[in-house]
Amino acid sequence: MLQTFRTSVSEVQEKLTNIGNDLVKANEVIVDAIITCDVDKFNEARSYIKNISSKMNDIDNSIIKILALYTPEARDLRQVVAYFKITNELSRACANTRSFIRGFTDVCDDLGEETINEYAIPMQNSTVRAVKIAVSMINCVDADELRERYEEVLIEENKTDDLYSMIEKNLIKKADMQSGEFEKYHRMLRALRKSEKVAGRAISMASLLLYANLGGELQAS
């Protein structure tokens, strides 16, 4: 039974990793799309995260089957519960990525090259790194390495927060100076906020994976 349990868990890990890698790829393509405001690139990015709901339902059903068949305990139970919660975090990250694509496509040309280069691209690069490192934790078992990767995700997520705060101040200042432009800048901020939220989902995944392997308290997101 132990071997079949491990095989089932490995299959869940593989499916989560594949979706996570697709999410990373989508956000990497977004970096290129931002640089030139390329609609085709934005559409390419969207293609990597299609049909996410059905994929997540498949994983959730696999996890429910594992819980029903093997009734895992202790560390094994923590791991399975964490994976169940990670499917939700990945779903939300994909939804935020789609919202970012939809919103940013509308405002990209208005944002300005200087703002894009100084804030939007570094912010999106940090989002990519946060998600990539979090996904790499799925198959990591070394405690020290897990802690190091968690800290790396946290650093990148903090960078997105800081960059968003800076661009928010910058755009609000511009809106104050340009009468009647508030709605345009609000739409820009709303779009950029979605990139920050993707990084937020990455730190939630990293927290769950830390909990799965090392225990402690499960933090609510």
Tens digits of pLDDT across the chain (221 residues): 588 999 999 999 999 999 999 999 999 999 999 988 899 999 999 999 998 999 999 999 999 999 999 989 888 999 999 999 999 999 999 999 999 999 888 888 887 788 888 889 999 999 999 999 999 999 998 999 999 999 999 999 999 999 999 988 887 777 666 655 677 777 888 888 999 999 999 999 999 999 998 886 655 45
Q: What is the tally of structural domains in the chain?
A: 1
pLDDT at 179: 58
Q: Is 219 left (phi over 0), alpha (psi -120 to 50) or beta?
A: beta
Q: Give the range of the structural domain holding residue 198, as residue numbers without chain letter.
A: 2-214
pLDDT at 178: 63
Query: Is 50 part of any domain?
Result: yes
pTM comes to 0.91
pLDDT at 108: 84
Rounded to the nearest angstrom, the gap between the alpha carbon of residue 144 and the centroid of all alpha carbons in its chain is: 23
Rounded Cα–Cα distance for residues 133 and 206 (Å): 8
Query: Is 220 part of any domain?
Result: no
- The CATH code of the domain that includes 28 is 1.20.58.220
Query: Is 200 part of any domain?
Result: yes
Query: Is 118 part of any domain?
Result: yes
Rounded to the nearest angstrom, the gap between the alpha carbon of residue 220 and the centroid of all alpha carbons in its chain is: 16
Query: Is 87 part of any domain?
Result: yes
| φ, ψ (nearest 5 deg) of residue 186 | -65, -40
pLDDT at 177: 63
Residue type, 96: N
Structure tokens at 194: 């979605």
What element of type H or E holds 142? none
pLDDT at 214: 86
Rounded Cα–Cα distance for residues 134 and 189 (Å): 25
Structure tokens at 53: 């709901």
